[in-house]
Amino acid sequence: MTLRPKPPQHLFIPGPTDVRPEVLEAQTAPMIGHRTAEFEALFAKCEEQLQSLFFTDSRVYILASSGSGLQEAAIRNAVGGRVINFIAGAFGKRWHQVSAGCGKEAIPVNIEWNTAVKPEQVAAALEEALKDGPVDAITVVHNETSTGVTSPVGEIAETVRAISPETLVLVDAVSSFSGVKIPVDEWGLDLCLTASQKALAVPPGLAFCAVSDRLLARAESVEGRGWYFDFLNLEKYLQRSTTPATPALSLIRALSVQLDIIFEEGPENRFARHQRLAERTRQWATDNGFALMAEEGYRSPTVTHVANSRNIDILALNAFLGERGMTISNGYGEFKGKSMRIAHMGEVNDEDMERLFAAMEAYLA
Ligand code: PLP
């Protein structure tokens, strides 16, 4: 593939991210029927590439949904009885609301925002909950987009397995997948979900989850799985490289082109680029008098949470950046005005970051 020059990055927000022109254009191809060999070949190709990016030999379901839909799918398929939701930010909280909304016995465990969920905290909460009976699953967000913190989900899975082997480990990697290596099989994650609009740099509307054999076996005994997100039904169709319902064909075409771009760059190079841009962003922030909000040692490779230590007007900064065709994110919820989030995920490169930093310095001056 010959890549066309990438237009400069416009969005430095944690999703949606900028999408390459080739990927946008892929969506303009004519429709084809989804019960055709042509579609099944396209689907099978994406499936294989996604399995490789999730580092899994099991399966990846591809759905027309945003990430939240797969938080719901995870609960509906994996949890018959009780689930523990670890909450260290807005998206951990959402998964708890989803769990309760699905009518499950959902046990929230609140962790201080801007810190990671630690294996010791998971062990303590799990041991406590087990006193009252089995725990079907735990949920944890790998990269809390609201705080810019990454939790050690591999160590967490190992801890859970040691204490309660039948408890499934469900992981949200919406804002980290493809920006950092998540070896799903090696880490023993039973489910790892993500969405198209973040580090994958595909337009919003697709969501993906790697699912273990253990989880699929569990689903057989869970009632109320619904239909659209029923993994057993999705599995049946996946065997034929297709989906039960009409797939988002144009988005899958876009996905296919973007996956080729990702493999052309090379996943390891992509992970290294995200790490390098994260380190540069942290350095820029501290060099310019801003503290970092996220706990040291757990800072995200895809989004940096910067304290508003200089008490600047973040809305005015964003307006200034907007005139130069760029935008960053304000702090989330209660952090609005108190912090800002600079995302460095997707197709963003070193020059893009330097252009952003130069503009921010011009504003500060
Ligand atoms: N989980 C995380 C970590 C997120 O960052 C987001 C969205 O930003 C979601 C879940 C929800 O995803 P969606 O907006 O695609 O439903």
174 lines ligand 1 (CB under 6 A): yes
pLDDT at 345: 98
pLDDT at 5: 87
pLDDT at 9: 87
- Cα(68) to centroid of ligand 1, in Å? 6
Hunting for tokens 């952003």 — which residue is that? 356
d(Cα 117, Cα 247) in Å, to the nearest integer? 35
pLDDT at 2: 77
66 lines ligand 1 (CB under 6 A): yes
CA angle, residues 286, 17, 181, in degrees to nearest 5: 75
- Residues 207-258: tens digit of each pLDDT: 999 999 999 999 999 999 999 999 999 999 999 999 999 999 999 999 999 9
Residue nearest to atom 13 of ligand 1 (CA): 67
Domains observed in the chain: 10-17+267-364 (3.90.1150.10), 22-262 (3.40.640.10)
Which stretches in the chain have pLDDT values below 70? none
Q: Which helix (H) or strand (E) holds 109?
A: strand 105-110
| Closest residue by Cα to residue 192 from 169, 224, 225, 213 | 169
Residue 211, CA distances (Å) to 59, 73, 141, 169, 323 in order: 6, 11, 16, 10, 44
With the most atoms of ligand 1 within 8 angstroms of its CB, the residue from 91, 150, 330, 345 to mutate is 91
